Amino acid sequence: MDTPKIADPRMHTAEHILSGTMIRVYNCPRPFTTHLEKKKSKVDFVFSRGLTDDELHDLEERVNAVIRQDHHVYEELLDRAVAATQYDLARLPDSAGERVRIIHVGDYDACPCSGTHVRTTKEIGTLHIISASFEDGALRIRFKLSDPATTAASSRT
């Protein structure tokens, strides 16, 4: 697997919200690969087409609206059999054991994950989509974050 050992908690939590938003808006599966780095990240979704600039802008706005709502990020431990009825566990390694960790971003998003996250979404700052591309049935979205402290000064409308 290409899952990083410990991704930056802000980037990683932003990925949850971005993926949750893609699911809500476009009803696509969670990304099949993620490359989360502190400065820049990219996520790949199974998709049928590219997104327009307007759609990317809308996506960015939706993600930032969720971040600003300052959702509490918390974990829930479920028995694997119970979790399997509610979540896709395909990407979870067998070594995860009989108890499955579900990460909730408030009531906005929930998915199985063993990574490290921020405690509340305001810690993430602001998400900026750098670019997106579409090739061979995969939509790649590249994004970065600006610090919470500088968000107010550099807010984009």
Which of residues 20, 31, 112, 115 is near Zn ion by CB under 5 A?
A: 115
By CB under 5 A, the count of residues binding Zn ion is 3
Contacts of 82 (CB under 8 A, 6+ apart): none
Site string for Zn ion, 47-86 (x = CB under 5 A): ----------------------------------------
Which of residues 66, 113, 124, 132 is near Zn ion by CB under 5 A?
A: 113
Range 13-40 burial, b when 16+ CB lie within 10 A, else e: bbbbbbbbbbeeebeeebbeebbbeeee
Nearest distance, CB of residue 112 and Zn ion, angstroms: 9
DSSP 68: H
Residues that bind Zn ion (CB under 5 A): 103, 113, 115
